[in-house]
Amino acid sequence: MMTGQEYIESLRKRKIKVYLKGKQIPAQELVDHPFIRGHVASAALTYDLAHDPVYENLMTTTSHLTGKKINRFTHIHQNVDDLLKKVKMLRMISQKTGTCYQRCVGFDAMNATYATTYEIDQKHGTQYHDRFKKFLEYIQKTDFMVSGAMTDPKGDRSLRPSQQADPDLFVHVVKKTDEGIVIRGAKAHATGMVNSHEMLIMPTISMKPEDAEYAVCCALPTDAPGVLHIFGRQTNDDRKMEGEIDQGNAKYGIVGGECLTVLNDVFVPWERVFMCGETEFAGMLVNRFASYHRQNYGGCKSGVSDIVIGATAAIADMGGYSKASHVKSKLNEMIHLTETLYACSIACSAEGYQLPCGSCFVNPLLANVGKHNVTRYIYEIDRIAQDLAGGFIATLPSESDLRDPEIGQYVTKYFQGVKGVATEDRLRVARLIENMTGGTALVESMHGAGSPQAQEVMYSKLANLENKKKMALRIAGVKVD
């Protein structure tokens, strides 16, 4: 297992092609770039914690393939205990970073692909599952970070992939040879992609037979020939070029450093191809990945909310109003909402079950309920945080003003709180709240792992409404066939 520093040094060896604000960033400088280094640091912590005896039980496990000790982020869930430890691990890491640490997407993609390739092979006699197991052994041995790449740009949402005016708006196979396939297209919103070693590409929606060239799942290095990445903007990201305080969370950043990954006729050898044209399994892969990923959100978002709650309580202390009854009541409401999110992730894990391949899967209905709650409760948690923190979190002078020899004295004087609390400390907490409850973080809570409508679609499929009607009719005394 790599350490955090070994992970960082391994990233420097890549020949990755990344563009940021219209300029290509030299590969050797990428991990140190102010826009990216926080995301690298948060991912690096997932490596360091695996070497900490305090967290060993959560962060590490034994590979079912090799019998060797591995980082849990490279594991295939074998039982309910694995699912539960995953959620507890995510909350714990979020409590230490206050942000996204990016490895979850690849973790979930590997688990979904492992299970789905087994069932493709059972029907078609293909060799996808064995290929994927070899890839997984490679990931476990190297401890590489994998970015899950599912979301396509999609173009005209009313049209299927094969109906698009531009065929590249969904990733598709443009050529097959004896050695492998060539793919073209793009993946959007790719969390942690620029600081990952590998990407695992999956279809983004269910497919019909006419979409066969789009039903593709494969793995390739993030610096493979023909791949380029365009790094996304985040709220207040230019502050990363300035001082520390205004960033809010200077060490680890905000959210996960998403990007647009462009695939310009990229060659993938057959040993790294895990689906190629089996359209009837595209939906299975999508739904399994989505359920695993939605399981996460009550874990990571409850951990992040723990930080928001703590910061809100601290800013109230610093302002001298923490003993007011309405403040206590609102903090309790934040705690209630946070623990509700966590409970859903624990519940969907506790009700996990074995898939035909032998790995363990979450209860998909409860996983979707948990993620849907995130799209609502995080907004309410953050609303209360902004309510209790006060409007000054959005109107504060800059750190440069605080440090200025002439006007800094006024910032210090007029933004002081209770006696004995340094103004700078109060401003640090205020900026943390501003950044954690601002635009980018909220949008990610809404759309990460699928927007609310995606969860509602799953409800309609999984809730068995007809059976609920029959139960009600029986109790009402109405004859039911």
Residue 439 pLDDT greater than 90, yes or no = no
pLDDT for residue 76: 98
**Each residue of 390-427: pLDDT tens digit?**
999 999 999 999 999 999 999 999 999 999 999 999 99
Give the count of domains, the chain.
Answer: 2
The DSSP string of 49-77 is GGG-TTTHHHHEEE-TTT--EEEGGG---
**Each residue of 61-88: pLDDT tens digit?**
999 999 999 999 999 999 999 999 999 9
Q: Do residues 154 and 219 both lie within one domain?
A: yes
Q: Do residues 192 and 296 both lie within one domain?
A: no
How many Å is the maximal CA-CA distance in the chain? 84
- Residue 420 phi, psi (nearest 5): 95, -10
Q: Do residues 414 and 449 both lie within one domain?
A: yes
Q: Strands 198-201 and 146-149, how do they pair?
A: parallel
Report the catalytic residues: 100, 104, 191, 258, 293, 297, 300, 444
Rounded Cα gap, residues 93 and 477, in angstroms? 52
pLDDT for residue 460: 86
> Residue 481: pLDDT band by 50, 70, 90 thresholds?
confident
Q: Do residues 51 and 82 both lie within one domain?
A: yes
pLDDT for residue 254: 87
Q: Do residues 305 and 221 both lie within one domain?
A: no
pLDDT for residue 459: 84
Give a yes or no: residue 316 inside a domain. yes
CA distances to 137, 303, 304, 464 from 477, rounded to whole Å, are: 58, 47, 49, 21
DSSP state of 168: G
Least confident stretch, 148-162, 198-212, 457-471: 457-471
Give a yes or no: residue 474 inside a domain. no
What is the pLDDT averaged over residues 284-309? Answer: 97
Rounded Cα gap, residues 392 and 335, in angstroms? 24
State which residues form the domain around 41. Answer: 4-283
pLDDT for residue 177: 97
Q: Do residues 224 and 278 both lie within one domain?
A: yes
Give a yes or no: residue 473 inside a domain. no
Is 191 known to sit in a ligand binding site? yes
Q: Which percentage of the chain shows pLDDT scores above 90?
A: 97
Rounded Cα gap, residues 277 and 297, in angstroms? 31
Q: Do residues 278 and 298 both lie within one domain?
A: no
> Residue 240: pLDDT band by 50, 70, 90 thresholds?
very high
3-state SS, one letter per residue, for 18-55: EEECCEEECHHHHHHCCCCHHHHHHHHHHHHHHHCCCC
On average, the pLDDT of the chain sits at 97
8 A C-beta contact, residue 309 and residue 331: yes
The residue count of the chain comes to 481
pLDDT for residue 310: 98
Q: Do residues 296 and 253 both lie within one domain?
A: no
> Residue 373: pLDDT band by 50, 70, 90 thresholds?
very high
Q: Which residue, among 292, 264, 303, has the nearest Cα to 90 in the 3D structure?
A: 303
What is the pLDDT averaged over residues 113-122? Answer: 98
> Residue 180: pLDDT band by 50, 70, 90 thresholds?
very high
Q: Do residues 347 and 368 both lie within one domain?
A: yes
Q: Do residues 121 and 180 both lie within one domain?
A: yes
Beta strands across the sheet bearing 172-176: 23-25, 18-20, 227-231, 259-269, 180-187, 172-176
